[in-house]
Amino acid sequence: MTMSCGLPILDHDNDEREYEISDYEGARARWCPGCGDHSILASVQKLLTNEQLVPEQTVFVSGIGCSSRFPHYLKTYGFHGIHGRALPVATGIRLHRPDLTVFVVMGDGDCTSIGAGHWIHALRYNLDIVVMLLDNGIYGLTKNQTSPTTPQGFPTNTQPHGSLLPPLNPLQVALGVTNASFVAQTAEWAPAHLYATLRAAYRHHGLSFVRILQRCPIYASAVYQKAVSDPARIALLVHDDGVVVPDLNKIYTTQLLHDPHDIDAARRLADDADHTNLGVFFLDPSRPCYEETRRVQPRTVNERLALIDAELDRYAV
Ligand code: SF4
């Protein structure tokens, strides 16, 4: 680091700082006690520390919801946006500042309802970003309304006799999108698995979509209660190219060898009614990333001016 005109100039090529977890800790988290978001924040801070991500070259983008307070609790750059629009903001950042590492944090209402159109096309564009869906199955910030992932029959303020429709399955949606390149599921109450999944997502080249099952003990404690209290309901998908956490072998004895390059098997596992499957369902790092395919287009000023001239000439008399 050198100084000029009294302002610090950061020289990242020669930056020998070693970051500690305190370098990433922002304001004190104000989520409810017992909220699963606390566990996710801890895993993200651990990831940032272990991967030694430069705080001023890292951006967290969120929309609106309990989980979208995430950027406030990290000492990186952050953009707390508007409902459902985290992905367009992240797309703009990624395209104009490819030197930055971009993470997106969304809730289930944010991502799978108002932001669903952006979600589908972001998966298809496959920018090199990490997208975390913190899925608690409820609108928590606005106090207990049915979201697209609320289980059928679960009572809420908007559907007090129980959610009327079967829930949307975010994994099935993501696996159905052309050019999706990384789809995983993990749970905040299994922090070792959560961390390993986030690390795999970060290291993947392309858009990494991670659905994180997240408890809301205030409004939706029953949503994941059975899976939390009975590990037999959970199956870990294991593969050398996916996520393997030996520390969990004694807790989660149901483990399925799943090749994450097999899209048909991934879709079957996403549809599994018998177990909650955790792991990397699908990955294909060869799928094209929009920011890279876009770069092969003419980019110099003269080339762009020539294209504009040619277009205007079409209208010349
Ligand atoms: Fe977490 Fe639910 Fe509280 Fe929101 S309402 S902070 S999701 S426990």
pLDDT tens column, 120-131:
999 999 999 999
Residue nearest to atom 5 of ligand 1 (CA): 140
Answer yes or no: is the C-beta of 140 below 6 A from any ligand 1 atom: yes
Evaluate: CB of 216 within 6 angstroms of ligand 1: yes
What amino acid is encoded at 149 in this protein?
T
Q: Decide: 108 in ligand 1 pocket, CB within 6 A.
A: no
CA 61, CA 4: separation in Å to the nearest integer?
31
What CATH number should be reported for the domain holding residue 120?
3.40.50.970
Q: How far, in Å, is the centroid of ligand 1 from the Cα of 143?
A: 9
Q: Which pair of structure tokens corresponds to residue 127?
A: 């920018």
- Cβ of 248 less than 6 Å from ligand 1: no
CA dihedral 58, 149, 115, 118 (to 10 degrees): 80
Confidence at residue 297, expressed as pLDDT on a 0 to 100 scale: 64
Q: Which two tokens stand for residue 80?
A: 């707390």
pLDDT of residue 17: 86
- CB burial class (10 A; 0-12, 13-18, 19+) of residue 186? buried
- Other CB atoms within a 10 A radius of the CB of residue 166 amount to 9
Q: Which phi and psi (to 5°) does residue 8 adopt?
A: -70, 135
Q: Hey, whose CA ends up nearest to atom 1 of ligand 1?
A: 35
Q: What is the pLDDT of residues 87-129, one digit of tens each?
A: 999 999 999 999 999 999 999 999 999 999 999 999 999 999 9
- The verdict on the CB of residue 59 being under 6 Å from ligand 1 is no
Index of the ligand 1 atom closest to the CA of residue 66:
4
- Domain residues for the domain of 234 are 2-313
191 CB contacts (<8 Å, ≥6 apart)?
A: 39, 42, 43
Protein residue with least CA distance to atom 7, ligand 1: 216
Q: How far is the CA of 154 from the centre of ligand 1 (A)?
A: 17
Query: Residues of the chain whose pLDDT is less than 70?
Result: 1-15, 296-299
Closest ligand 1 atom, residue 34 Cα: 8
Give the per-residue pLDDT at 301: 85
Q: Distance from first CA to last CA of the chain, Å, rounded?
A: 59
Q: What is the pLDDT of residue 298?
A: 58
Q: Which atom of ligand 1 is nearest to the CA of 140?
A: 5
Q: Which atom, in ligand 1's list, is nearest to the CA of 107?
A: 7
Q: What is the whole-number distance in angstroms between the Cα of residue 26 and the centre of ligand 1?
A: 19
Is any ligand 1 atom within 6 A of the Cβ of residue 136?
A: yes
Is any ligand 1 atom within 6 A of the Cβ of residue 219? Answer: yes
Number of domains in the chain: 1
311 CA → ligand 1 middle, Å: 53
Backbone phi, psi, residue 48, to 5°: -60, -40
- The answer for residues whose C-beta is within 8 angstroms of residue 269's C-beta and 6 or more apart is 237, 256, 258, 277, 281
User: 195 C-alpha vs ligand 1 centroid, how far in Å?
Assistant: 21
- Structure tokens of 263? 């899209």
175 lines ligand 1 (CB under 6 A): no
pLDDT for residue 147: 98
What distance in Å separates the CA atoms of residue 118 and residue 120, rounded to the nearest whole number? 6
Say what percent of the chain tops pLDDT 90. 88
Q: Are strands 234-238 and 255-257 parallel, antiparallel or unpaired?
A: parallel
32 lines ligand 1 (CB under 6 A): yes
- Beta strands 182-187 and 276-283 are antiparallel
**Quick one: tokens of 134?**
């913190």
Q: Name the pTM for this structure.
A: 0.90
Q: Are 174 and 183 in contact (CB under 8 A)?
A: yes
pLDDT number for residue 294? 83
Query: Does 155 contact ligand 1 (Cβ within 6 A)?
Result: no
